[in-house]
Every structure is written in C-alpha cells, then in structure tokens.
Amino acid sequence: MSHTAVLFAGGYSHRMGRDKAGLTWGDRRLLEHQADTLRATDPQELILSCRPEQPFALPDFVRVDDGEPGAGALVALAGLWVLHPAEVLLVLAVDMPLIPATWLRALAHLAENEGRAVVPRRASGYEPLAAAWHLSCLPELRAAQLSGQRSFQALCTRLEAAGNLREISAENFTPEWLTNLNTPEDLPASRYE
C-alpha cells in the first residue's frame, strides 16, 4: 500500500477549553494514541499537521505547520498535499480516538484500488477527517482553497457527484467510531483523567 498518514492536530479546541492533543487518554496523551493508530496502518510516511505555535512533535512523523493558520482543515489538507505528494492521504483528527487502525487501513486500500476518495458518512454528514483522500481530488481541493471555500461537506458532495468520492455509509462501520471529543462532557470518565 502506498498511502501517507496524516494526523490533524491543528484545531483551536475552543469548546474543549484546552488543546485536545494534550489531553490524557488512558496512560498517555491523545496525540500519542492517535499517532499509534496511524502507525498501525503501515503508511509510507507519517505527517503531523499543526498550527505553528503548537509545541508538538512525534517520533517518525514529519511535522507540517499550517500555511494559513485558522483557515481550517480543508486548506491545511490542500497545502500539505502539495508539499508531500502521495497517491492516498489517510487522514485522522486528533479528537477521534475510537477509530480502529484496521478500518482506516481498509479505507486507504479502497481509495488506492478505486482511484477515488473514500469518506464515511453518517446522518450529520461526511466525516472528512477520518477518511482516505485520493490524488484525483486534489484539483477540486485546490480550487476550493483558492476560491476561499472552506466547507468539506460541499466539497464531498461535488466530488461524489463527479465520481471522485466513494461514500461509506453508517451500516458499514460502527457509528461510535466517529465520536468527536469536542467538549469536556464528551470525555468518558473511564478513559480520561
């Protein structure tokens, strides 16, 4: 498999009240937990996407600072893809710790074999930060970035209509896997200290 794995940790965590990457998850930081998940997908390269002021670093990950801090994940994805070309970028948000590596690896495999993005979708919409993005999406991604469009939902809708995105519907995964830790109330007492 020829995917590059990207850990997105550059969000501002306003609702959480502190940087989510530094939260304790079990016996370590959430950042390390998610890094291990991506390592287990057997990528060719590992990338950590951060804001410039964040102090994070991970062994065997290449750190890429957001070129336009505050512009959002769509802009960050487009920017780092130009710096680190890959057929498939397997992306994972730092605040989604329940996703198994085997499922992510399967998404990357599908994207590589089908030549299009593979993005899970639940009732609330697409989940672009637990997805496998294929290089065929880069022109549309760059066009959205350059035009100032920041909505992954609109981008995914356009890509799917053009045949460049395969939706993975909720019956094909456990919905709890896509749980985001956005507020202190989202943190399960058994996992968080």
Residue 102 confidence (pLDDT): 95
Rounded to whole angstroms, how far apart are CA atoms 22 and 24? 6
Question: What is the DSSP track for 111-163?
Answer: HHHHTSEEEEEETTEE-TTEEEEEGGGHHHHHHHHHHT---HHHHHHHHHHTT
Backbone phi and psi for residue 174, each to the nearest 5 degrees, phi listed first: -85, 115
- Domains for the chain: give ranges and CATH numbers: 3-186 (3.90.550.10)
Q: pLDDT of 125-157, one tens digit each?
A: 999 999 999 999 999 988 888 888 888 999 999
Tokens matching residue 42:
């057997």
The structure's pTM equals 0.86
Residue 16 confidence (pLDDT): 53
Higher pLDDT, 76 or 125: 125
Q: Which residues pair with 89 in a beta bridge?
A: 4, 133
Q: Which of 38, 41, 78 has its CA nearest to residue 59? A: 38
Query: Would the pLDDT of 71 be above 60?
Result: yes
Residue 70 confidence (pLDDT): 60
